[in-house]
Amino acid sequence: MPNAFISGTGSFAPANVVKNDFFQKVGSSDEWIYKNLGIKERRISKGQTTSDLASKAGQEAINNAGLTAEDISLIIVATATPDRLAPSCACFVQEKLKAINAVAFDISAVCSGALFSISTAVQFIKTGMYKHVLVIGADTFSTITDWTRRDSVFFGDGAGALVISETNEDKGFVDFLLHSDGRGKDHFTIMAGGSEEPSSSESIKSKKHFFKMNGQEVFKTAVEVVPTCIMNLLHKNNCKIDDIKCLLPHQPSIGILKKIAEKIEMPFEKVKTNMDRYANTSGATIPIILDETRKNGGFEPGDLVLFAAVGAGWTWGSALYKW
């Protein structure tokens, strides 16, 4: 069976920077946001759609892999904010990249979407069905944010991408643990616009097309399930935290990341974060931090790297990668 490795990465965020001071008008402050969430600023799209961001990140990843769009057999986009409810954002991206040989679909797992998409891509590579799969995490949460509310501080827009390719060398994705628990479905949700409550003038008036989040439940769940998942994955693969070069996590809040590091007994310097510049870009966080770490020369052959994510659903998981 071939291995599946990361052959290229890319990322893209809108140029428009929104700093914390902007949120004074909704009763928040730079001091509170930075102390509790670790955010200084975020990028907010001005009319660019999710597929616009996704295709720019995707093209960069394809170039970095030394491939062309025609070499890609599958495009998976992890997003909770597709351009339209139908068709998939991945089909928009396929058209924009002119990836004429690629089948394309989205995966919906909100903040765990990139990890779930990566694990799906890896299965297609390991079975020998495809040689090069483009995985993109992309979101424009600015389009589902009520900008008059205080929880508008949490999210930013962006996209990150990776090409996953076949190899016979001893490198690539070692293992995954993925989980879902639908009992958590109300703690982060968009109430209207689906089959349960189709969009109506009433749903718009009551702002049910914006996200609704229970921050305390997110915190409580994240710091419980992620450390357990990471430790189970390491145990399953006879690894210890000391064997790990770094953790590339989803970026929900600096408080959550610090608590996770404390629970798994990992020095916080090994936990990669860019929350200060991007906030939480949902499906895009892991591919963006992966791309930044690679560009900063962060990996050596043989390095063991962990990925971990948690998101709405609940959904969560972890992956072990050998560079």
Ligand X SMILES: CC(C)(COP(=O)(O)OP(=O)(O)OC[C@H]1O[C@@H](n2cnc3c(N)ncnc32)[C@H](O)[C@@H]1OP(=O)(O)O)[C@@H](O)C(=O)NCCC(=O)NCCS
Write the CA distances from 149 to 26, 68, 105, 120, 156, integer angstroms: 6, 43, 33, 36, 15
214 catalytic, yes or no?
A: no
Number of H helices, E strands in the chain: 9, 13
Contact 232, 177 (CB under 8 A): yes
Phi, psi at residue 76, to the nearest 5°? -115, 125
Of the pair 117, 165, the CB lying nearest ligand X is at: 117
Distance CA 250, CA 8 (A): 19
The Cα–Cα gap between 34 and 21 comes to 11
Of 89, 111, 229, 246, catalytic: 111
Binding characters for ligand X, 58-97, by CB under 6 A (x = yes): ----------------------------------------
Annotated active-site residue 187? The verdict is no
246 is annotated as an active-site residue: no
193 binds ligand X (CB under 6 A): no
Residues within window 272-311 making contact with ligand X, judged by CB under 6 A: 280
Tell the smallest beta-carbon distance from residue 32 to ligand X (Å): 4
Closest approach of ligand X to the CB of residue 220, in Å: 8
- Tokens for 50? 């999710």
Tell me the Ramachandran region of residue 38: left when phi exceeds 0, alpha when psi lies from -120 to 50, beta otherwise: left
Q: Residue 188, interface with ligand X (CB under 6 A)?
A: yes
Residues 100 to 119: which contact ligand X by CB under 6 A?
A: 111
Query: What is the rounded distance in angstroms from the CA atom of residue 162 to the CA atom of residue 75?
Result: 10
Of the candidates 16, 36, 73, 203, which one interacts with ligand X according to CB under 6 A? Answer: 36
Nearer of residues 13 and 33 to ligand X, judged by Cβ? 33
The pattern of x and - marking residues 140 through 179 that bind ligand X according to CB under 6 A reads ----------xx-xx-------------------------
Instruction: For ligand X, give the closer residue by CB, 8 or 156.
Output: 156
| Shortest spacing between CB 104 and ligand X, in angstroms | 26
Is the four-CA dihedral 251, 93, 45, 214 of positive or negative sign?
Answer: negative
Nearest residue to 49 via CA among 5, 13, 82, 16: 82
Q: Which residues are catalytic?
A: 111, 250, 280
Residues that bind ligand X (CB under 6 A): 28, 32, 36, 111, 150-151, 153-154, 188, 213, 215-216, 218-219, 252-253, 255-256, 280
